[in-house]
Amino acid sequence: MTSARSTRNGTPGEGVSRSASARAPERGIPEATIARLPVYLRALITLSERGIATCSSEELATAAGVNSAKLRKDLSYLGSYGTRGVGYDVEYLRYQIAREIGVTQDWPVVIVGIGNLGHALANYSGFSSRGFRIVALLDSDPARLGEKLGDMRIRGFDEIETLVEELDIAIGVIATPAVSAQDVCDRLVAAGVTSILNFAPTVLNVPAGVDVRKVDLSIELQILAYHEQRKALAFDGAVDIVEPPVDPRVVESA
Ligand X SMILES: NC(=O)c1ccc[n+]([C@@H]2O[C@H](COP(=O)([O-])OP(=O)(O)OC[C@H]3O[C@@H](n4cnc5c(N)ncnc54)[C@H](O)[C@@H]3O)[C@@H](O)[C@H]2O)c1
Which residues from 138-177 bind ligand X, rule CB under 6 A? 138-141, 144, 157, 175-177
Nearer to its own copies, 143 or 251 (CB): 251
Q: Which residues within the stretch 82-121 sit at the binding site for its own copies (CB under 8 A)?
A: 100-103, 107, 109, 116-117, 119-121
Instruction: Establish if 69 lies at the interface with its own copies (CB under 8 A).
Output: no
Kindly list the strands in the beta sheet with 82-83, ordered across the sheet, starting from the edge strand earlier in the chain: 54-55, 87-89, 82-83
Cβ atoms of 44 and 94 within 8 Å: the answer is: yes
Short-list 76, 154, 163, 161, CA closest to 119 = 154
**152 strand-pairing partners:** 149
Helix, strand, coil share (%) of the chain residues, nearest 5: 45, 15, 40
* Least gap, CB of 99 to ligand X (angstroms): 23
For residues 116-135, which are near ligand X according to CB under 6 A? 116-118, 120-121, 124, 126
Among 9, 48, 62, 68, contact with DNA (rule: CB under 7 A):
68
Please say whether the dihedral angle defined by the alpha carbons of residues 216, 222, 224 and 227, taken in this order, is positive or negative.
negative
Is residue 167 within the footprint of its own copies (CB under 8 A)? no
Binds DNA by CB under 7 A, chosen from 9, 62, 87, 215: 87
Verify binding: residue 70, its own copies, rule CB under 8 A: no
Task: Return d(Cα 246, Cα 254) in angstroms, integer.
Answer: 15
Phi–psi pair at 45, nearest 5 degrees: -60, -40
> E strand or H helix at 138, and its extent?
strand 132-139
Choose the one of its own copies, ligand X, DNA, none that binds residue 135, judging by a C-beta under 5 to 8 angstroms depending on kind: none
Whole-angstrom distance, CA of residue 188 vs CA of residue 141: 17
Figure out which of the listed residues 7, 23, 50, 151 binds its own copies, where binding follows CB under 8 A.
7
Binding site for DNA (CB under 7 A): 30-33, 55-58, 66-70, 72-73, 75-76, 80-88
Binding site for ligand X (CB under 6 A): 112-118, 120-121, 124, 126, 138-141, 144, 157, 175-178, 180, 183-184, 199-201, 217
